[in-house]
Chains A and B, each alone.
Chain A
Amino acid sequence: MAKIDLRASAQQSNDAVAARNRDLFGRNGVYVMNFIGSPGCGKTSILEYTARHLDGNFAAIIGDVQTAFDAERIRDCGVEAHAIETGGGCHLNAAQIASTVANIALDRLDFLFIENVGNLVCPSAFDLGENIKVAVLSVPEGDEKVRKYPALFVRADVVFINKMDLLDRCPYDAERVKEDALKVRPHVRIFETSATGGTGFEPWFEFLRSVR
């Protein structure tokens, strides 16, 4: 037998496209965020609130298994939004992003939001070429999500705890969630928001202004 040593990442074809995306984003001076969270945690609502209340030029790419409903919601905020319907795919990959951004005038943008397919597992394994991964949690989901899905939180640069307005109606220990997130990612930034109530966004906006 002859053994051929490879030591190659199983993600190498995706990683190569992600690196090209990252280079393209860098050259155009656009800051790119990959939002990952469960279905219904408020990813789109956070984008809507941000687009309506923060000055800047935005565009969004919205991944869903089916429908362009969320992209339409973002367009209603006056923001260019492109839907990627994965047709069953459980995550977005770098090639889907590359072909979508080919239709976006990146040079006029400050921020590009990518909303991944609602899923706490698979999207964390695929680099899209983003600057940061943003994990979105919400109060009704329960406070054990960081413990249950550490692979995402080891990689997330920002964590939202959304739907904070439901804290008095759900058994949820937000302090525990923050402690857990800081254990797996010591320098993670955590924002506690209610996207429908419009609370808690100022620190997030400050962060975005600082990276712009």
Chain B
Amino acid sequence: MHELALSENIVRTALDASGEKRDRITAIGVEVGALSAVNVSSLEFCLRMMLDERGLEGAEVRITPVPALAQCECGSRYEARDMFSPCPECGGFLREVIAGKDVIIQYVEVENGED
């Protein structure tokens, strides 16, 4: 439900970073963590809508899902497909999630101009 708020922020960040080329954005790259509480298809829908509203119908939305990464107390680092499964090395649950909690704006792509 909060994908719209996130999309506003993502598009604003992309526009700011593009400066004078903001009308020539061709793609936005976004990483969505498995534990970010964000629905990828809703985010895609909201981003599409916001880009279209700004006349950026041609800009591509590229979303990459990022798995949750856990760091276990035993030293092992592994992809936590299911947070309710133990560490594959030691069988324990004493771990911290070190990636996959966030939504990250990776890049914005703009047309090369001769200006």
Interface residues of A (CB under 8 A from B): 1-14, 90-91, 93, 119, 121-122, 124-126, 147, 150-152, 154-155, 180, 182-184, 186
Contacts and interface: CB of A to CB of B under 8 A. Distances in A.
Binding site secondary structure of chain B? mixed
Given A14-B9, A91-B2, A9 B83 contact: no
Contacts of B45: none
Contacts of A121: 1-2, 37
Contacts of B104: 7-10
Contacts of A12: 9, 13
Contacts of B13: 6, 8, 10, 12
B97 interface: yes
A10 B109 contact: no
Q: 3 tightest CB-CB pairs across the interface, nearest first?
A: A151-B37, A10-B103, A122-B2
Contacts of A91: 1-2
A119 B2 CA distance: 11
A144 to B, nearest CB: 11
A121 B36 CA distance: 10
A90 B103 contact: no
